[in-house]
Amino acid sequence: MTKIVFLSKGEDSSSTRYRALQSFPLLRQADFEVVHATASGGPLALIDALRQAASADLVIVLRKTFPLPLLWLLRRISSRLIFDFDDAIFCNSDGSPSATRMQRFAAMVRVCDHVLAGNHFLAESARAFNSAVTLLPTSLVAQGYTAPVDKPEDVIDVVWIGSSSTRKYLVAALPSLRLAASRLPGLRLKIIADFDLPDAGLSTVTVRWNASSEAADLASSHIGIAPMRDDDWSRGKCALKVLQYMAAGLPVVSSNCGANAEIVEEGVSGFLVDDEAGWETRLVQLANDAGLRRRLGEAGRAKALAAYSVEPVFQRLRSVIDSLR
């Protein structure tokens, strides 16, 4: 039986959940032995991770880079080595270049037998250092997102899901949301996250993020929003929240950049906007038209099920694994 070890920063990482753990049942059904090991958290955790890697037929490193001596050791003990990443880890989080991060990224990519990149921008960045790159989009268990048939119309919930690390994108969109709310008294911002925005300047409701309830919390909303900046860090994002909105049957309004612009089909599953006026216009349009919300939401859900469910994405992963056996 082929043994695959996934090394990551920990099971709480979204990269680990969406790009590794949810594929474990399918890998085991295909007769692979699958193990997750945490390569962070101190010397003992690292030693255990390296021990697991040494016993594996294939090691898949999720998003993490290493200092050169440790990378050399990992490469030496790994029969086959894959690097999987879904963020622009080669630059700073404000989108500015980082020589240190780029050096570690380049070293990691060069020594691997194959690289799995979460979107086109990341794939092209990796191909500068390794030609063996496969685009592997982030996937989700789309069947778990079931949209309610009926939703109240007296309050229109515009939902944003994220965390403190992406709070800045939501804050930047607040002026547009306030403008839309000034024209629609029933519009409410629903935040599914680990923080509050008490001074948002419009009606808000905060729902604490929980893995077991996030699908239902999204599906009970009306419109999903995904504001982003257009810089290299944002271009490295793999549109997870857009896919979640689509799987939940919500029409999407997103900034016109990055992977979001590749996945959202203009006027089919949502709208892509470039400025404050665009945000206001599209939010008001969708809030006032339940039929349009339903049509766009149904189209988005169909696309999420067909192209971004775990099963079709797993087939890409399986092809790469088989090519290295």
At 247-285, the pLDDT tens digits run: 999 999 999 999 999 999 999 999 999 999 999 999 999
Centroid of chain to Cα 22: 13
**Secondary structure class of 179 (helix, strand, coil):** helix
Give the relative orientation of helices 276-287 and 167-183 as an angle to the nearest 10 degrees. 60
Mean pLDDT (whole number) for 59-70 = 96
Q: Give the span between the Cα atoms of 165 and 171, in whole angstroms.
A: 12
Q: What is the pLDDT of residues 130-163, one digit of tens each?
A: 999 999 999 998 778 876 667 888 999 999 999 9
> Which segments within 209-285 are labelled E, that is strand?
223-226, 252-255, 270-273
Same-fold call for 3-139+309-323 versus 143-307? yes
Domain boundaries, the chain: 3-139+309-323, 143-307
Q: Distance of CA 14 to CAs 9, 11, 21, 163, Å?
A: 10, 8, 10, 11
Strands (E), the chain: 3-8, 33-38, 58-62, 81-85, 114-117, 133-135, 156-161, 187-193, 204-208, 223-226, 252-255, 270-273
Identify any residues that bridge with 91 across adjacent strands, giving them in sequence order. 97
User: pLDDT by residue (tens digit) across 179-201?
Assistant: 999 999 899 999 999 999 989 99
CA distance 121 to 207: 32
Q: What is the pLDDT of residue 149?
A: 64
140 Cβ partners below 8 Å, 6+ apart? 18, 22, 240, 243, 244, 247, 304, 308, 309, 310
Strand partners, 116: 84, 134
How far is residue 223's CA from residue 89's CA, in Å, rounded to a whole number?
Answer: 30
Mean local confidence (pLDDT), 49-66? 97
Mean pLDDT of the chain: 95
Nearest to 70 by CA among 95, 49, 56: 49
- The pLDDT-based confidence of 167 (bands split at 50, 70, 90) is very high
Q: For domain 3-139+309-323, say whether CATH 3.40.50.2000 is its number.
A: yes
Q: How many Cβ atoms sit within 10 Å of the Cβ of residue 42?
A: 8
143-307 domain in CATH 3.40.50.2000?
Answer: yes
322: confidence class by pLDDT, cuts 50, 70, 90: very high
